[in-house]
């Protein structure tokens, strides 16, 4: 048993020391910086300036300590499930709006960003409500998404946008998904 782990309580995880002993290196550096700064200020401007430097250091350290204590006392927030971690609601809104605008303008953008999102939404909805794996059984997914398939070309056109077997488009000049088609797909996803 090492000297460091001897002082550790049994309920503490390994590698953490009890109390202030765990921050000894940080405290030593802080004291050294405070003494060095105050000595430099004393040599340059005198005793009053050195006392003022000590007061400034004390205030800064109290503010930092308060921030550390508050951060340690509050439980961590759960991580967001969407990829836009760190984005606020405002920037997230503009990001989504940009994805939709790009997807209607370019087929490459649709296949790169919006198509996977729509496919994941469809896969989740099918798994939750119908116990169907979208990727393993796309024909069953198509029957559920487009009931009465075979009624016409419109259903075939809707499936084209979500079909997992369709390769991604690489030609930039092709237009993306028409807004009315996107609205029809979203309507079908909601009703599913």
Bigger pLDDT: 87 vs 32: 32
The SS3 of residue 44 is helix
Co-location of 66 and 116 in the same domain? no
Asked whether residue 79 is assigned to any structural domain, the reply reads: no
Report the largest interatomic distance among the alpha carbons of the chain, rounded to a whole angstrom: 92
pLDDT score at 48: 92
Co-location of 135 and 170 in the same domain? yes
pLDDT score at 151: 54
Asked whether residue 84 is assigned to any structural domain, the reply reads: no
Asked whether residue 10 is assigned to any structural domain, the reply reads: no
Co-location of 137 and 69 in the same domain? no
Q: What percent of the chain has pLDDT over 70?
A: 71
pTM for the model stands at 0.51
How would residue 51 be classed by pLDDT, with cut points 50, 70 and 90?
very high
Q: Which residues contact 105 (CB under 8 A, 6 or more apart)?
A: 175, 176
How would residue 56 be classed by pLDDT, with cut points 50, 70 and 90?
very high
């Amino acid at each position: 048993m090492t000297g460091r782990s001897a002082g550790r309580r049994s309920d503490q995880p390994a590698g953490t020391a009890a109390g202030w002993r765990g921050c000894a290196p940080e405290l030593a550096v802080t004291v050294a910086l405070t003494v060095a700064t105050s000595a430099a200020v004393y040599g340059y401007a005198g005793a009053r300036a050195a006392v003022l430097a000590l007061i400034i250091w004390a205030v800064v350290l109290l503010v930092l300590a308060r921030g550390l204590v508050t951060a340690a006392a509050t439980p961590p927030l759960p991580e967001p499930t969407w990829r836009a971690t760190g984005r606020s609601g405002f920037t997230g809104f503009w990001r989504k709006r940009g994805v939709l605008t790009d997807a209607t303008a370019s087929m490459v953008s649709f296949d790169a960003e919006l198509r996977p999102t729509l496919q994941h939404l469809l896969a989740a909805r099918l798994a939750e409500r119908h116990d169907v794996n979208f990727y393993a059984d796309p024909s069953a997914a198509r029957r559920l998404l487009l009931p009465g398939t075979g009624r016409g070309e419109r259903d075939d056109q809707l499936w084209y946008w979500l079909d997992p077997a369709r390769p991604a488009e690489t030609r930039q000049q092709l237009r993306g998904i028409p807004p009315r088609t996107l609205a029809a797909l979203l309507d079908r996803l909601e009703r599913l």
